[in-house]
Amino acid sequence: MLKSIPKSNISRRSFKVYKKFTASQADYPVIKAFSESGLFDSETFTKATGLSEDVFVHLLYKSIEKKYYTDNGLLNNYGDFANDANFSGERELGTNMYVIKIAQSKFGEKIKPGSVRITDTDSSEVFSDSGKGRIVSTNPTYTIVSADFFTGELILSIDSVNYTFTITSFDFETGAAILTYGSDTDTEYLTSFDLESSTAVFVAELEIGGAVISQNDYGNIFYSDGMVVFTGLSSDINNYTIEYRATQTIHETEILIEAKAGEFNYSQNPSAVDVTVSGSYDFETTAITNVSPAKTVKIKHYNDIKQKSSYDGSYGSTTGSWNDYDNNFLSDPTGSYLTTYVSTIGIYDKDGDMVAVAKLPQPFKKLPDYDTNFIIRFDT
């Protein structure tokens, strides 16, 4: 039995799914890129090591500089920003860059912002992404410009901008420091205060008076290209592990199938509708008229079956009506004329070609007196 599906019963929606990946230098070697002076010479210019193809570090450096680290105007700059107007602050390029390029087949449409965690397995230092394209330390780190414990003055530098704080008190056991910036005072927690390396490490990014003071950047992540670029490292990174989530958009089609009372209540299984007819017997549930001589007729097409609201008469040695069905089930051993079990739904296009098949987890009993709805979903 076929039935048209109205357009109002078909809907489509899109949603993003994410898959977690883990990789290391064995999968994607770190490429140290830098600029070399003079005209490019393939005989003398440096090639990256550990790769299956030739990559000149000078050309890589220049191409990344041009695409990502050149200010082409607010609407033409590539990648994500915390502040679009602060291009120079968020895209600082050093003498060396360390590039990790993830295969597109392993990140899909883009790397999910905020999902990246990189561990330098040599130094145990851990980096993450800010969700806005910046590589930051898992523990927010700031550069100490000066620290005067007599006056309580502490000057921290972030992206070459100095911030002057006053330390009101400091608890060496808990790391709690009461800092005043301007007229605002807040309690921040330190995990490390190293004057030798000029770094102050906090539990979270500094927030004074409701304003977040971003920590030092170590580079950038370009999510849509699957590229990690370290530009602010004090030493080389050679061995690492990276965790991230790939992004893929799924387009889902949902179809509502409505089977009204009395619809789809006839079996199309030929073995369920074998009937024996004689020369004088008119089998009332089929379109077959009197047949002579007596023989078995196999009904192969659903058009051969007519709906019969009641059964009253005899069939073989059985007599009775649908009201006596429980006692006279031999007149309908498979239940084909009383009810059907739906196990598969086929979807056809306007040309009559099957385009999709939906399988039910288990056969569903389609009662003849009730409307039944089926919801089919498939992804593209």
Q: Is residue 301 part of a domain?
A: yes
Q: Are residues 234 and 170 in the same domain?
A: no
Which of 336, 351, 372 marks a domain boundary?
336
Q: Are residues 208 and 308 in the same domain?
A: no
CA distances from 209 to 42, 180, 184 (A): 55, 9, 5
Cβ proximity of 127 and 64 under 8 Å: no
Cβ proximity of 256 and 48 under 8 Å: no
CA atoms within 13 A on the CB side of 148: 8
Q: Are residues 115 and 130 in the same domain?
A: yes
CA distances from 171 to 182, 187, 319 (A): 22, 11, 96
Cβ proximity of 59 and 40 under 8 Å: yes
Interior angle at CA 211, CA 208 and CA 215, nearest 5: 85
Distance of alpha carbon 119 from alpha carbon 238, whole angstroms: 11
Question: What is the pLDDT at residue 53?
Answer: 84
Cβ proximity of 103 and 227 under 8 Å: no
Q: Is residue 149 part of a domain?
A: yes
pTM of the model: 0.65
Amino acid at 166: T
Cβ proximity of 252 and 15 under 8 Å: yes
Q: Are residues 53 and 99 in the same domain?
A: yes
Question: What is the pLDDT at residue 297?
Answer: 52
Q: Are residues 54 and 202 in the same domain?
A: no
Q: Is residue 295 part of a domain?
A: yes
Q: Does a cis peptide bond (omega within 30 degrees of 0) precede residue 363? A: no
Question: What is the pLDDT at residue 257?
Answer: 93
Cβ proximity of 42 and 56 under 8 Å: yes
Q: How many domains does the chain have?
A: 3
Q: Is residue 261 part of a domain?
A: no
Domain extent at residue 109: 15-138+218-250
Q: Are residues 27 and 161 in the same domain?
A: no
Please give the average pLDDT of every successive group of 10 residues along the chain, which has 380 residues. 89 95 95 92 89 89 92 78 76 90 95 94 90 86 89 85 89 89 88 88 78 78 95 89 96 94 69 49 46 49 42 48 44 53 90 91 85 92
Q: Is residue 354 part of a domain?
A: no
Provide the 10 A C-beta neighbour count for residue 1. 12
Q: Are residues 133 and 146 in the same domain?
A: no
Q: Are residues 32 and 108 in the same domain?
A: yes
Distance of alpha carbon 30 from alpha carbon 233, whole angstroms: 13
Distance of alpha carbon 310 from alpha carbon 323, whole angstroms: 9
Q: Is residue 374 part of a domain?
A: no
Q: Are residues 180 and 243 in the same domain?
A: no
Cβ proximity of 325 and 338 under 8 Å: yes
Cβ proximity of 32 and 96 under 8 Å: yes
Question: What is the pLDDT at residue 36?
Answer: 93
Distance of alpha carbon 146 from alpha carbon 150, whole angstroms: 12
Q: Is residue 361 part of a domain?
A: no
Q: Is residue 375 part of a domain?
A: no
Q: Are residues 58 and 102 in the same domain?
A: yes
Q: Are residues 112 and 224 in the same domain?
A: yes
Q: Are residues 34 and 91 in the same domain?
A: yes
Give the residue among 3, 29, 5 at the shortest CA–CA distance from 238.
29
CA distances from 310 to 234, 302, 323, 328, 371 (A): 89, 19, 9, 14, 19
